[in-house]
Amino acid sequence: MKKTACESNKEGRIVNLSSKGHQYAYREGIRFDKINDESGYNSMYAYGQSKLSNILHANELARRLKEEGVEITANSVHPGAIVTNLLRHHSFLNVLANTLGKYVLKNVPQGAATQCYVALHPQVKGVSGEYFVDSNKAKANSHAQDAELAKKLWDFSLSMTNQN
């Protein structure tokens, strides 16, 4: 992407799909010391942790790209509550979502709108390290805005993939 952005003289855009579910991560945000601990696993908190990680990754990537002077932005988005099979392992919630969801949840094109906006719209040119909801900048929770936590996650991810 860096080479393409430089050669084409066009801004590259990275969009991380997150969720308002980032607000329901574990109390400490990311459980670095218990990342594979099955005994304390909770599906809702784990989902929140993963979505928090998506925001933190975009923020740290945005910081690093800006530091390098590269014309690539990195942002994260919440697509909204969409009728999908995400709840397939929670039978009651899945039935409820599929029955009532068509009346109150977004359909897939509506859910894709914010990603498309952040990826393509001229108004987002040069905007980086932000969190978007319904095609607008929004405020993520305090963990998601923690630059030290973002760097710690970045370094932790590198160590887990042996990229130090």
Residue 101's nearest CA partner among 113, 88, 114, 112 is 88
Distance CA 10, CA 125 (A): 10
User: Cα–Cα distance between 100 and 6 in angstroms, integer?
Assistant: 48
* Residue 110 identity (one-letter amino acid): Q
120 Cβ contact list (under 8 Å, min separation 6): 13
* Cα Rg of the chain, angstroms: 17
Dihedral over alpha carbons 25, 26, 31, 37 (to 10 degrees): -110
Measured at the CA of 8, the angle between CA 72 and CA 163, to 5 degrees, comes to 45
Provide the annotated active-site residues.
Answer: 41
Q: Residues 6 or more apart from 84 whose CB is under 8 A from it?
A: 108
